[in-house]
Amino acid sequence: MSFFKVESVVKRFGGLAAVDNVSFEVEKGDIFGLIGPNGSGKTTIFNLISGFIKPDSGSINFKGRRIDGLKTHKICHLGIGRTFQVVKPLKRMTVLDNVMAAAYRRANTKNHARSIAMETVEFCGLGGRADHLSGKLTLGDRKRLEIARALATGPELLLLDETFAGFNPTEVNEAIKLVEKINSSGVTIIIVEHIMKVIMSISGTIHAINFGKTITQGTPADVAAHRGVIEAYLGEPGDAQG
Amino acid sequence: MDPGVKKTAIFALLVLFVSAPLFVKNDYFLHLMILAFMWVVIGSAWNLLAGYTGQVLFGVAAFFGTGAYTSGLLVNHLGWSAWWGLPLGGVTAVILAFPFGWICFRLRGAYFALATLALNEVMRHVATIWESLTDGMAGIMILQTFYAPITTPLGILSSKTPYYFISFVMAALSIACVILVTRSKLGYYLLSIREDQDAAESLGINTRLYKMISLSVTAALSGVAGGFFTNYMGFIDPETVFSLHDISIMAILVGIVGGVGTVYGPAVGAFIMVIVQEMFRTGVFGLLSSLAEGTGSGAIITLEKHISSAHVLMFGILVVLVIRFMPNGVVGDWGKVAALVTPCRRANMRQEAGE
Amino acid sequence: MELLLQTLVSGFLKGGLYALIGIGMTLIMGVMGIINLAHGQLMMVSMYITYSLFALFGVDPYVSLAVSVPAIFILGVAIQKFFLNPLMKIDTILPENQVLMTVGIGMALTEIMRFIFTSDYKSIQTSYSKTTLLMGNISFSLPLLIDFFIAVILTGALFYFLKHTDTGRSIRATAQDRDAAILMGVNAERITSITFGLGAGLVAAAGTMLMPVFYLFPDIGGPFTRKAFVICILGGLGSSVGAIFGGITLGLVEAFGATYIGMEFADMIGLIIFFLVLLVLPGGLKRITGM
C-alpha cells in the first residue's frame, strides 16, 4: 500500500482537459516535486487532491483510503494540508489567530490551540509578527503564514503551491530551509513550482507535466535532461530560434 | 480601552439599568428602553451571522416574525400563555432556519442575502394568506400579562417594569452569548469563514455546518425577541412583524450604526436607532409641533406634518449615509479615533480586532 | 388553442420589455459585479416622470422617452459616482455593502416618490392604450407592439455601442477582467459610472413604455427589481444576450401563470420562481440547454 497515490486522474473544463490521465505515487517522507510551465495543470491537480474540485475519472488514494470526491474539510481532517498559490490570509485576523483557527483542527481548548499556534508561528519564522494583522504582512510573510496555517492542522502530507513565486534569492534560500525543516520533522511534501532551480535542489522525485499530461518522472537529474521537459520550458526547438 | 476600566464601566451600566425603573417611573421612557433592549437582542443576532460569519442577512424579520406568531398562535389555538412563545418562538425560528440554511448556504455573498430577503417576503405572504391559522391581515390580539401599575415594597411601579426587566435580561444574555461564541473555537471558525471560505475549508472547517450553527443561533435569538414582542405589544400582524423596513432593515441599521463584527456595537446601535426611529415617529419628541404652534412658521408646520410619515424615507437615507461615511459604526470607528489620540492604544486595537 | 396562442403572443410582447429591464441589470452586474437592488425603483421613478409629463403637459409617453431616459441615465451615473464608487476605497468588514447601499437608495427613491405623489394608483389613458390589432382571432395590444419594436431597436443600438465604440469596448473589457482593464488604461470609475447610467437608462425606457398599459404606485419598484434579478439569472449572470432570453422566458411564464393559474397567486408565484431560480440556476438557463 502506497502512502499517496494519484491514478489516471482526468479533469475537463468545458471541452478542455486541464488534467489528462495523470498518475503518480508519493512515498512517505519524500519531497515530491510537481513541475510544469504556467497553465500546465499543477494547481488543478492540487485542487483535485484537496477536494475543491472532483475528478471526472480516476482515483486519489491516501494511506489506503480513497479521497477523491470527499469534501475539502474532510480531506484536511484525514491529514492533508495545503497552501494556496494566490495567498488567502484571513485578513482581519492576526497572524496568531490565523494559525489558531487552523490549530483548532486538533485542539479543543483555546490554550491548546494557542500553544500549537505559537509553536508553529515560531517554527515558520513569524514569531515577531504574531500579533500583526495578516492582511498587512509582506508577501514573503504571507507565504510563510500560508505554510504555518497548513502545518498547524497537523498534516502528514503537505501540498505547497508555488511558495517561492515572487521571492528574491535570499527569501528563496530561507524558504528552502523551511521546507527542508518541515520535511525532516516527518511531513511528506508535494511541492509545485515552475522555477526549476528551486525544485531540483530539494526534491527526491520530480514529476513533469505539460498541457495536463505527464511528460516524465524521475530524479532531478533525469528530469532536467529530459528532452520533453526542456521543450516544455523553452518551447519547441524551432520556436526558440525563430 | 483598559480592561479594568471596561469592566468597571460595564458594571456601572448594569447597576444603572437595573435600578432605573425604581427612579424613573415615566412609562414612555421605560417603553423606549424596552424597545432598545429588544433591539439589542435582534441586532446581536444579526451581527453574529452578518458581522462575525460574513453572511449578510437581509431578512431577519422572517425569524423575528416566526417567533412573534408562535407566541400569538399558542394563545389563539392552544390557549397557552404567550410567555411560552419566548422559548418556543426561538425553537420555531430555528426550525424555519434549518431547511432554509441547508438549501441556501450553497449560495454565496449577495445571493445568500437575496435569498433571505425572499424568505422574509414569503413568510409575510404566508402569514397574510393563511387566514385559517393566522387570521391574515387582521392580526392577532392577546391579553397582556401586566397592564396595571404594580405595588411593591419599594413603591408603586409602572406596569412596564416587568417587561423592562425581562427585556433587559434577554439583552444581557444575548450579549453574553455573543461574547461566549467569539471567545470559543466556534468564534474562530466563524471569523475564518467570514474572511475566506476556501481557506477555511482547507483548514478543516466544515463551512456549511458552522454557517448553519451561526444561522441557528441568530434565528433562535430573533425568534425569542419576536415572542417577547407579542407579549409586550399585545398585538401583531404580518405587516408589523414581517416588515422589511421596520424589522429587517432596522436590524441591519442597528448592526451597522453600532459596529459590524463588534460585541457591543449592536447594543450601542440599538439605543441610537430606537431614539432616531422615535424622533421621526414623534416629530422630535413633540418639539416640532410645539415649535409649529409657537412660531406659526409655515415651513415647520409642513415639516411637522410630514416627518412622521417619512420615517421610512429617513431609514433609506440613513442606510445610504451610514454605509457611505461610517461603515464600521460607532464602536468600530471609535477604535480608529481613539488610536489617533493615543498611540499606545494601537496595539490594543490590533488585539481586539483579532478577538 | 386560441387561448394558448394568445397567451404566447402577450407573453412574448411583454418579454421584450422585460428583456430591456434585464439587460440593464445584467450590464451593471457584469461590470460592477454587484446586484443593483434599486433597479426596479429607478424604473418606478422614470414612470413617475412620464406620468407627470403627461398629467401636467399632456406629453405622449413615447415622446417623454426623450426626457425620462436621459434623466434616469444621469441619476444612475450620479448614484455610481457619488455612492457606489467611493465604497470601493473604504475598508470595512461589512459584507456586501454595495448591495446594501442600493437597498438604501431604492428605499429612499420609493419614499421620495410617495412623498410627492402619495401612495395612490396612477395611470395614463392615451387614445391608443386599449387599441388592439387583430390577426385572425389573436389580438395584439398596440402599445405593447410598439414597445416591443422600440425594445428591439434599443437593444440593437446597445449592442452596436458595446461592439463598435471605444467606450463600449472598454465596458466589455471591464466586465471581462476589471484589473486587466485598469492596467490597459481603462478609467474604471468613468466606465462604471457610464455603465450604471446605461443600465438605468434602459430600465427607464422600459418603465416609460409600460406606462400606457400599466398602473403605477411607489411600491411597484420592489417587484420589478425582483423580476430584473430573475431575468438576469435565467439569462446567465452578466450575459446581455442571455438577458433577452431570460426576459422573454419570464414574460411567457407570467402570461401562462396568469392565464392558467390565476392572478391572485401572482405575488407568491413570483417569489417561488425567484427562489427556484436562485437555487437551481446559478449558471442560467445556458447550463441546462447548453446554448
What DSSP line would sit under chain C, residue for residue? -HHHHHHHHHHHHHHHHHHHHHHHHHHHHHHH----TTHHHHHHHHHHHHHHHHHHH---HHHHHHHHHHHHHHHHHHHIIIIIHHHHT---S-TTHHHHHHHHHHHHHHHHHHHHH-S--EE---TTTT-EEEETTEEEEHHHHHHHHHHHHHHHHHHHHHHHSHHHHHHHHHHH-HHHHHHTT--HHHHHHHHHHHHHHHHHHHHHHHGGGSEE-GGGHHHHHHHHHHHHHHT-TT-HHHHHHHHHHHHHHHHHHHHHT-GGGHHHHHHHHHHHHHHH-TT-THHHH--
Q: Smallest Cβ distance to B252: which of C100, C267, C275?
A: C100
Identify whether C126 is part of a domain: no
CA–CA–CA angle C48, C50, C52 (5° rounding) = 65
Within 8 A of B306 by CB-CB distance, chain C residues are: 115
Structure confidence by residue, pLDDT tens digits, B91-141: 999 999 999 998 888 887 788 888 898 899 889 988 988 888 888 888 898
Give the three-state DSSP class for B331: helix
Euclidean distance between CA atoms B189 and B201, whole angstroms? 10
Q: Which three cell numbers stand for residue C172?
A: 466589455
- What's the mean pLDDT when you consider all of chain B? 86
pLDDT the model gives residue A49: 95
pLDDT band at A174 (very low <50, low <70, confident <90, very high): confident
Distance from CA of C139 to the nearest CA of B (A): 34
On the question of pLDDT at B234 being above 50, the answer is: yes
Tell whether B250 is within 8 A of chain C (Cβ). Answer: no
Distance from CA of C291 to the nearest CA of B (A): 24
Question: How many residue contacts between B and C have a Cβ separation below 8 Å?
Answer: 117
Whether C27 contacts C199, CB under 8 Å = yes
Q: Which of C36, C98, C100, C237 to probe by mutation at the B interface, max B CB count within 10 Å?
A: C100
Identify whether C125 is part of a domain: no
The residue written with cell numbers 429612499 in the block is C108
Q: Smallest Cβ distance to A131: which of B199, B200, B350?
A: B350
What DSSP line would sit under B26-72, residue for residue? -HHHHHHHHHHHHHHHHHHHHHIIIIIT----S-THHHHHHHHHHHH
The residue written with cell numbers 468545458 in the block is A14
**Which residues face A61 on adjacent strands?**
A5, A66
- The closest alpha carbon to A101, from B199, B99, B348, belongs to B199
Identify whether C226 is part of a domain: yes
Buried b (16+ CB within 10 A) or exposed e, B326-352: bbbbbbbebbeeebeeeeebeebebee
Interhelix angle for B61-73 vs B85-104, to 10°? 140
Alpha helices of chain A — where are they, by DSSP H? 42-49, 72-78, 95-103, 110-123, 139-152, 169-184, 196-202, 220-225, 227-234, 237-241
DSSP B136: G
DSSP B264: S
Q: Smallest Cβ distance to C99: which of B50, B113, B324?
A: B113
Identify whether C61 is part of a domain: yes
Element (H, E) at A10: strand A4-13
Tell whether B121 is within 8 A of chain A (Cβ). Answer: no
Identify whether C86 is part of a domain: yes
Q: Which three cell numbers stand for residue C204?
A: 427607464
**Across the interface, do B185 and A97 touch by the CB < 8 Å criterion?**
no
Chains touching B (at least 3 CB pairs under 8 A) are A, C
- The closest alpha carbon to C4, from C268, C261, C259, belongs to C259
Q: Domain count of chain C?
A: 1
pLDDT the model gives residue C237: 66
> Which chain B residue has its CA at the smallest distance from A159's CA?
B202
CATH classification of the domain holding C253: 1.10.3470
Q: Smallest Cβ distance to C111: which of B55, B58, B316?
A: B316
Q: Which three cell numbers stand for residue C176?
A: 471581462
Residues of chain B above pLDDT 90, percent = 46
Q: Smallest Cβ distance to B315: which of C96, C97, C107?
A: C107
- The closest alpha carbon to B263, from B165, B174, B345, B323, belongs to B174
Domain of residue C191 covers: 2-119+133-289
Identify whether C128 is part of a domain: no
Element (H, E) at B151: strand B150-152
Interhelix angle for B185-195 vs B207-233, to 10°? 110
Distance from CA of B328 to the nearest CA of A (A): 13
- Domain locations along chain B: 26-274
pLDDT the model gives residue C286: 42
Distance from CA of B112 to the nearest CA of C (A): 9
Written as tens digits, the pLDDT of chain C (291 aa) is 778 888 888 888 889 999 999 999 988 888 887 889 999 999 999 999 999 999 999 899 999 999 999 999 999 999 999 999 888 887 777 778 888 899 999 999 999 999 889 888 998 888 887 788 887 778 888 888 889 999 999 999 999 999 999 899 998 888 888 788 888 888 888 899 999 999 999 999 999 999 988 889 998 998 899 888 888 888 776 677 888 888 988 888 888 887 777 666 666 777 777 777 777 765 444 444 433
ipTM greater than cut 0.85: yes
On the question of pLDDT at B38 being above 90, the answer is: yes
**Across the interface, do A153 and B196 touch by the CB < 8 Å criterion?**
no
Structure confidence by residue, pLDDT tens digits, B313-354: 888 888 888 888 888 887 777 665 555 554 444 444 444 444
pLDDT the model gives residue A127: 87
pLDDT the model gives residue B344: 44
Whether B160 contacts B174, CB under 8 Å = no
Euclidean distance between CA atoms A50 and B49, whole angstroms? 27
Euclidean distance between CA atoms C1 and C152, whole angstroms? 28
Identify whether C96 is part of a domain: yes
Q: Out of 1.20.58, 2.40.50, 3.30.70, 1.10.3470, select the CATH number for domain B26-274.
A: 1.10.3470
Identify whether C173 is part of a domain: yes
